[in-house]
Amino acid sequence: MALIENLRSVFAPPHPVGRPFLLGAAAIMVGGLLVGLWLSLLGLALLLFCFYFFRDPERVVPARPGAVVAPADGRVVSVMPAVPPAELGLGPAPMTRVAIFLSVMDVHVNRVPFSGVVTRIAYRHGKFVNASLDKASDHNERNALALRLPDGRSMAVVQIAGLVARRIVCQVREGDSVTTGSRFGIIRFGSRTDLYLPAGAVPLVTVGQTMIGGETVIAELSAP
């Protein structure tokens, strides 16, 4: 059963954002027939990589009241207090930040950590340092979202570009109602996603742990 699930994840249909890259790679592969075998093989390699990178597998959201799910696949690189991005207007008080580093081999589709309403989306230009470093949260190009939870508390999730990533895609708008585990964007190619938990949320993960976006319970909300 585990093998079947792994195969389903590897061969999942690609996210729509990846279509231009897939078409480009296919064009190189076909055009290579007129130039040389080496170019066709290069196009094939690019096509297979794009299919793998842009894969968008279905995820099973845990039916657990108060469960906050991971907003991305990847490895937890830090769990610490930090002030959320100023552009979100959430105030200067530190919130517990869980930072997830995504390698080029991880699924890069971002998922909503908890149901709520998107109250603010703010994009900020920046640098492209290694996304596994703590300073990436402050210095790198990013797209930040603030969510208002049903109990009135706020949560933030930030898409951060990395050393290779050059494009952040956000598919929700301010005022949208979103549900736990639903897709809200994608980053390409190698990046970081930070989650800022509201007061009363208990982190359930540690540094080094591997996340599965939309499925891994990253924290639990207690009463406000």
Q: Does residue 159 form part of some domain?
A: yes
Do residues 148 and 47 both lie within one domain?
A: no
Spatial distance between the Cα atoms of 169 and 34, rounded to a whole number of angstroms: 35
- Where b means 16+ CB within 10 Å and e means fewer, 41-50 reads eebeebbeeb
Spatial distance between the Cα atoms of 158 and 123, rounded to a whole number of angstroms: 10
Low-confidence ranges of the chain (pLDDT < 70): 1-11, 129-133, 136, 163-166, 189-190, 223-224
pLDDT of residue 207: 96
Query: Whole domain around residue 90: which residue ranges?
Result: 67-221
Residue 3, Cβ neighbours under 10 Å: how many?
Answer: 7
Do residues 135 and 95 both lie within one domain?
A: yes
Do residues 80 and 41 both lie within one domain?
A: no
The pTM assigned to this predicted structure is 0.86
Do residues 80 and 9 both lie within one domain?
A: no
Do residues 85 and 14 both lie within one domain?
A: no
Find out whether 59 and 51 touch, Cβ atoms under 8 Å.
Answer: no
Number of domains in the chain: 2
pLDDT of residue 165: 55
pLDDT of residue 1: 47
Do residues 73 and 165 both lie within one domain?
A: yes
Do residues 114 and 186 both lie within one domain?
A: yes
Q: Does residue 9 form part of some domain?
A: yes
pLDDT of residue 166: 61
Give the pair of three-digit tokens for residue 139.
Answer: 């210095």
Q: Active-site residue among 132, 137, 154, 191?
A: 191
CATH number at 159 reads 2.70.70
Task: Please report, for the chain, how many H helices and E strands are present, in that order.
Answer: 4, 14
Each residue's pLDDT tens digit, 131-150: 666 776 777 889 999 999 99
Whether 182 is catalytic: no
pLDDT of residue 3: 47
CA–centroid distance for 111 within its chain: 6
Give the pair of three-digit tokens for residue 77.
Answer: 């690189």
Do residues 111 and 174 both lie within one domain?
A: yes
Q: Does residue 59 form part of some domain?
A: no
Give the pair of three-digit tokens for residue 160.
Answer: 């951060």
Do residues 41 and 137 both lie within one domain?
A: no
Give the strand order in the sheet containing 183-188. Answer: 109-111, 183-188, 167-170
Residue (of 110, 176, 100) closest to 143 by Cα position: 110
Q: Does residue 12 form part of some domain?
A: yes
Do residues 43 and 134 both lie within one domain?
A: no
